[in-house]
Homo-oligomer: A and B are copies of this chain.
């Protein structure tokens, strides 16, 4: 039966027919758990990030799931709630479930725990975070270039006082703040002196974006542009600006990051930097397979291009 089910050859045509008939009649389906026990392939991959409710994360899950469909695997989905302890628990649980790999947006301050993970025998691909070690690889979108393109675009539109609604996690984080980097670099190149008071911080949520822009408005009444860490912070920015009676884009231009589906439908439609989630998902899966194959090699970080999408908000 096993040889027929897996089509390994070494059986007669008549035997095959009998086996298939029985399978059909009994509604037999192979038990993947038992199979995994011996083949060491569970057929499962996990996606783990800080917040399942961020539409970008859901959209990435969709892309990952489409990739898995092509190779017959099933997706685990979990959040770490920006918490290193939870993340450790989740990764350990996934290891117990024998996941073949996990695609991870690491919680802030994960470095130490990731170093430990690196010995666990669970392939991990980090998204937008560089970290080297056995069993670990990275896929990184060109966030710095994307941020530069966004800010250059604002400068070219004649904006002078360009604020940023940044992710509060980047203050303490072991994680490089690529978007802030790009923001500063572009301002510098355009001949502006980046002013620290033009960067306000908040959690990467709608509310966080609103609060950050409230703060920027309180500090600078001449604010004429906002570059946000991600699209949902940009949504919060739009809300803050509307409450303050500033028109977008006439008074203040807004640019987001990620290009979630709603961007194009907002009023005004949101200019943003598109992350190519299909490519990120595909590259992450491929890298996971390479790591599983040669865990102790150092696998080069995969870089994925981004694209500025200009819409009405700027």
Contacts and interface: CB of A to CB of B under 8 A. Distances in A.
A218 interface: no
A136 interface: no
A112 interface: no
A160 interface: no
Interface stretch (A51-59, A169-177, A192-200): A51-59
A59, A61, A74 — most chain B CB neighbours (10 Å): A74
A52 to B, nearest CB: 4
Interface in A261-314: 261-262, 264-267
Interface string A86-113: 0000001111111000000000000000
26 contacts: A31-B96, A31-B98, A33-B33, A33-B36, A34-B37, A43-B97, A44-B76, A47-B77, A51-B62, A52-B61, A53-B55, A53-B261, A55-B55, A55-B58, A57-B58, A62-B79, A74-B78, A206-B262, A206-B264, A206-B265, A235-B262, A235-B265, A238-B267, A239-B265, A242-B267, A262-B262
Q: How large is the interface on A (under 10, 10 to 19, 20 to 34, 35 or more residues)?
A: 35 or more
B77 A97 contact: no
A75 interface: yes
A231 B239 CA distance: 18
Contacts of A76: 44, 74-77
Nearest to A86: B69
Interface of A: 27, 29-34, 36-37, 42-44, 47, 51-55, 57-59, 61-62, 65, 74-79, 92-98, 119-120, 206, 210, 232, 235-236, 238-239, 242, 261-262, 264-267
A61 B32 contact: no
Contacts of A264: 206
